[in-house]
Structure 1
Amino acid sequence: MQEILTSLLNVVGLAWWVEVKTETPRCTYYFGPFPKANLAEISKAGYVADLEQEGAQGIAVSVKRCKPAKLTVSDDLGEKLSQGVPTALTRPVV
């Protein structure tokens, strides 16, 4: 039942999302949706920890109601990948 409520809230733009912005790489990530703000608040530490483990730097986190069109918005990731420069989100092929 909670999944249906969350889906409905997301459709109308009233679901809660964790927005994480990083300076390196310069990206915005959205994690969610959540039916309540407190559930998003509880989850945000795990998302930050994962990004820190990947090497992301300059992390800013907020919980907000929104309806993101993309879950990852990258300002510079494509440019770095095309230049062959590794980023925190690329892994070496072994």
Structure 2
Amino acid sequence: MTALLIRPLRAIANGLGVAWWARVETRSPDVTYWFGPFLRRSGLEKALAGFLADLKEEAPGSMDHAILRTRRGEPLTIEAEPG
């Protein structure tokens, strides 16, 4: 598919809540990152490896991720409120 078609399809899929997203949570710092939207889970999984590698370079204390089919908007990076 061409890039001209993919962007609108991703936006539609996201609006309908059927787009694939990854939620990545780190500790130290406490941040939640949203990575997506993707039309196919396989596309997300392929791209996610590079995203996770980039985050690991920032040396968080720990990092977990989940793959979800959902609707998501801004913000895509959420820092925990200081307690």
**Which one of 3, 8, 13 corresponds to residue 12 of structure 2?**
8
Gaps of 5+ in 2: none
Find out whether 1:71 has 2:82 as its counterpart: no
The CA RMSD measured in Å over matched residues stands at 1.7
Find out whether 1:32 has 2:36 as its counterpart: yes
Kindly name which structure, 1 or 2, has the bigger radius of gyration based on alpha carbons: 1
**Larger strand percent:** 2
Amino acid at match of 2:67: V
The TM-score, its normalising length taken from structure 1, stands at 0.73
SS in 2 for 1:61: strand
Amino acid at match of 2:76: L
How many equivalent residue pairs?
78
Partner residue, 1:53: 57
Please give the alpha-carbon distance, in whole angstroms, between the structure 2 residues aligned to 1:33 and 1:58: 24
Gaps of 5+ in 1: 80-94
Please give the alpha-carbon distance, in whole angstroms, between the structure 2 residues aligned to 1:26 and 1:68: 20
Please give the alpha-carbon distance, in whole angstroms, between the structure 1 residues aligned to 2:52 and 2:13: 24
Please give the alpha-carbon distance, in whole angstroms, between the structure 2 residues aligned to 1:29 and 1:50: 12
Percent identity over paired residues: 32
Please give the alpha-carbon distance, in whole angstroms, between the structure 2 residues aligned to 1:31 and 1:57: 20
4+ residue runs over 3 A deviation: none
Please give the alpha-carbon distance, in whole angstroms, between the structure 1 residues aligned to 2:38 and 2:79: 23
